[in-house]
């Protein structure tokens, strides 16, 4: 088959493509780059196949090729049948080695994510009618704690929402998030837990982490508190792109939604979950960051008067305090007076 006719499964079964993904060099980089440039319509399929292979962490060794082809055949067959991937302990009379099980597990995650995004966006597809979804949403000024069907606990911040199936699938647990939430994931090694937040997916098996993904903010943050997670990005066609990032506790991935770039950094474990415990905290925050957080926390809006562009670098912590008490303390430091009229706060500098 000519390359211009290739689909994702063709790249997955092409030994030269797999060898390039797992052991790239200048010659193979140049070759596959020329294929992509000569056939732009293949870019999405190549990116998806590359990320599946990398995510599976499967290195083809001597004697493994038959296992690879058998498992891949099962994956692709199931992929064509509503993307349902099972994980039996044996296939026929042949035992599956641990690397193969990990390979199949990772494949099931990605195929299930693709299926979820596809069915979520195609409202008219028949499969959508068979699925029942739950949506939990908080307005400004309200937070909540939610228990998912698998026992996972979710603390949902103000002006945030999550969406998930009423009953998780047999292979993966998928949740869609807009806004901010803290997750304590119920452990289940055979059913990974994945959160889709914009163009970022975060996958774990049993761990706790915070995701901040407000639509009116320029970045998405994934902060790991315990356990391990893997973070990937998707393009606008729901195709996985870029590298996978494995986080350790205390590490944070920041995804710039404009530049579509990822930055790995660290954060304070002591402060990341303050908000779910009723603590409003700021660490060298700008005026925009402070006011936006206050708007969400208290369900108000701000109007600035006589403000001449003063820069804030505010640091403070408030535990279950009234809005007026918070404004008094911040106003003393940042030199403003305030007036409250219903849900509107006027700040005069």
User: Does residue 126 lie within any of the structural domains?
Assistant: no
Q: What is the mean pLDDT of residues 146-169?
A: 94
∠ Cα 78 79 80 (to 5°): 90
- Residue 69 located in a structural domain: yes
Instruction: Give the separation between CA 181 and CA 202, rounded to whole angstroms.
Output: 13
Q: How far is CA 309 from the centre of its chain?
A: 35
Q: What is the mean pLDDT of residues 278-306?
A: 94
Q: Are residues 153 and 255 in the same domain?
A: yes
CATH of the domain at 343: 3.55.50.30
114 and 85 share one domain: yes
* β-pairing verdict for 219-226 and 251-256: antiparallel
Provide mean pLDDT across the span 100-124: 52
Residue-wise pLDDT for 167-180, tens only, equals 887 777 889 999 99
228 with 114, same domain: the answer is no
- Give the CA dihedral 82, 83, 84, 87, nearest 10 degrees: 160
Q: Which among 121, 153, 169 is the end of a domain?
A: 121
Whether residues 139 and 71 share a domain: the answer is: no
On whether residue 187 sits in a domain, the answer given is yes
What domain range is 282 assigned to? 278-348
The pTM for the full model equals 0.66
**pLDDT band for position 114 (50/70/90)?**
low
Q: Any idea what the CATH number is for the domain that residue 246 is in? A: 2.60.120.1440
In total, how many domains does the chain have?
Answer: 3
Across the range 186-215, mean pLDDT stands at: 90
Q: What tokens does 135 get?
A: 């949506």
Residue 116 pLDDT class (50, 70, 90 cuts): low
Residues 285 and 231 in one domain: no
Alpha-carbon distances of 10 from 86, 156, 233, 235, rounded to whole Å: 21, 41, 23, 21
**101 in the same domain as 158:** no
Mean pLDDT is lowest, of 16-30, 56-70, 279-293, for 56-70
């Amino acid at each position: 088959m000519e390359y211009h006719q290739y689909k994702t499964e063709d790249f997955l079964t092409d030994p030269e493509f797999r060898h390039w993904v797992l052991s790239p060099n200048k010659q193979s980089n140049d070759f596959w780059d020329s294929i992509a440039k000569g056939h732009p319509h293949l870019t999405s399929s190549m990116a998806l196949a590359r990320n599946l292979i990398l995510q599976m962490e499967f290195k083809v060794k001597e004697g493994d090729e038959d296992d690879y082809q058998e498992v891949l055949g099962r994956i692709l067959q199931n992929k064509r049948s509503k993307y349902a991937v099972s994980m039996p302990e044996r296939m026929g009379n042949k035992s599956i080695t641990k690397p193969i099980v990990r390979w199949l597990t990772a494949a099931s995650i990605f195929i299930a994510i693709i299926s979820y995004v596809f069915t979520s966006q195609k409202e008219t597809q028949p499969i959508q009618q068979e699925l029942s979804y739950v949506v939990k949403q908080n307005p400004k000024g309200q937070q909540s704690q939610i228990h998912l069907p698998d026992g996972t606990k979710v603390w949902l911040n103000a002006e945030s929402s999550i969406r998930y199936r009423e009953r998780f699938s047999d292979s993966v647990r998928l949740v869609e998030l807009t806004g901010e939430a803290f997750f304590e994931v119920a452990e289940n090694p055979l059913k990974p837990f994945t959160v889709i937040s914009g163009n970022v997916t975060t996958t774990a098996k049993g761990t706790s982490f915070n995701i901040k993904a407000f639509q009116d903010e320029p970045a998405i943050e994934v902060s790991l508190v315990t356990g391990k997670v893997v973070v990937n990005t998707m393009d606008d066609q729901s195709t996985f792109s870029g590298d996978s990032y494995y986080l350790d506790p205390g590490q944070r991935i920041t995804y710039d939604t404009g530049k579509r770039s990822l930055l790995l950094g660290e954060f304070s474990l002591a402060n990341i979950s303050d908000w779910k415990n009723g603590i409003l905290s700021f660490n060298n925050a700008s005026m925009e960051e402070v006011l936006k957080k206050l708007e969400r926390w208290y369900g108000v809006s701000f109007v600035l008067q006589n403000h001449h562009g003063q820069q804030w670098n505010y640091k403070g912590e408030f535990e279950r305090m009234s809005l007026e008490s918070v404004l008094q303390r911040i106003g003393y430091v940042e030199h403003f007076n305030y007036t409250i009229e219903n849900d509107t706060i006027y700040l005069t500098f």
